Amino acid sequence: MSKTTEMDEDKFKSTIWDLWKEAHDGIAPVRREVFKLHGSVIGLENAKEDTSKENPDLTHCYEYKSVSLEDDSNTLSQFAQEAFTCARGFQEATQKLKGETPAEVLRITTRAGVLLYYTEQILQRYDGLKARAQASKNSVPLPTNFGAKILSEAMTAAATARDQMVAAQGFVKNLKERAGSKERWRLLLRGLLPTLIIYLLFHPSISIFLTVFHITLIPSIYRVYWEIVFWSLFGAISISFITMSEDVNRDDFDPRHLFKYEYRIAVAPFIAAVLVLFVSILGFTSGGTTIKLDLANPNFPVVVLLSFLFGFFGKRSLDLLDNVWQRLVPSTRAEEKQKTPKTA
C-alpha cells in the first residue's frame, strides 16, 4: 500500500471517528431529556398509549456479536455488511415514525448506540487484521479494495448513528413543544376563561344578572375589591402565558415543572390587595408629587391598571412589598446589618 493511500485511509478513519464521537456525545443529553419527558404530562399520556415495538426484521441487530482477532477478512466483511444493513433498516424505521413518543426517542438512542458499537468493532478489527497481514509474510493478503469497502460500511454506520441522534433531538424539541402547548391551552381554558366568565357574570356593575334579572349578587360597595382581585389575576395569567411561551423554545425547558408558571396566579390577588391598600393609605411619590388612592371613592381605571401591573410583575411586586415592610418597620434592616459580621 502506498503512503498516499495510507494517508487517505487514515483521514477517512479520522472522519469516521469524528462522526462516532458526535453521535456518542449526543446520547446522554437526549436520554436525560427523555427521562424528563417521562415525568411530564406527555410522558404519562404516552405511557398508556405506546404499545409499539421494534421491527421484528431489525431485532437481530441488537444481538451481541464480537469479531475476534483471529477472524479473517470474510468474517469481518460479513460483520460490516450486517452493520450496513442494520443502519439502513434503522434509518428507514425512524423516517416512518408518524407520532413521536418518549419511548420512541429512547429507542432511537438505543439504535444509535448499536451502530456505534458496530462502527467501533469494524475499525478496531480492521486495524488488527491489516496489522497481522503486514507483519506475517505467510498470511493471506487482503482482497483488493477490501479496506475501502469495510471503511465505507463503517462510515455508513457512524453517519446513520449521527443522523439518528439528530432525529432524536428534533423529536425531543417537538415533545417539549407539545407539553408546552398543552399547558398553555390548559392555562387559557382552566385559568383565563373561568376567571373572565366569573368576572363578567357576577360583576357588581355590569353583571348579566344585573342586566337581565336586575339582581345584584355583589354589592357595588365591593366593586373596588372585585376589580383588584380579578385584574391582578388577569395580569398573573398573562405573564404566566408569555413566560411559558418563551421558555418552551429554550434548550433548558423542563416540562416536569410547569407549576412554576402558575404559582404567581394564586398569590397575585393578595399581593395586589396589600399594595393597593398601601397606596391608598400612604400613597406613592412620582415626580416629587405624592399620589394617594381613595378606596371610598376610587378612580376605577387607576385601580384596574395598578391591579393588572401588580399581578403581571409578580416578582417585582414582591420586592415592592418587601420595601413596604422595610418602610413600615425600618428597624428590621438595621438589626440585620448589626447581625452581619464585619469582614476584615
List pLDDT tens digits, range 301-343: 889 998 999 889 877 777 777 776 776 676 555 555 555 555 4
Q: Are 142 and 86 in contact (CB under 8 A)?
A: no
The reported pTM is 0.70
Burial grade of 64 (CB within 10 A; 0-12, 13-18, 19 or more): exposed
Q: What is the structure's pLDDT at 53?
A: 63
Give the residue ranges of the chain where pLDDT is below 70: 1-7, 38-54, 64-71, 99, 136-142, 144, 209-211, 213-214, 283-291, 324, 327-328, 330-344
Beta-bridge partners for 289: 286
Q: What is the structure's pLDDT at 339?
A: 56
Distances (CA, A) of 236 to 45, 187, 308, 317: 28, 11, 8, 11
Q: What is the structure's pLDDT at 302?
A: 87
Question: Burial letters for 101-111: b for 16+ Cβ neighbours within 10 Å, e otherwise?
Answer: bbbbbbbbbbb
C-alpha cell at 209: 344578572
Please tell me the distance from the alpha carbon of residue 77 to that of residue 74, in angstroms, as a whole number: 5
The model's pLDDT over 222-231, given as tens digits with 9 standing for 90+, comes to 889 999 999 9
Q: What is the structure's pLDDT at 180?
A: 81
Q: Are strands 284-286 and 289-291 parallel, antiparallel or unpaired?
A: antiparallel
Please tell me the distance from the alpha carbon of residue 245 to that of residue 251, in angstroms, as a whole number: 13
CA within 13 Å, CB half, 55:
15
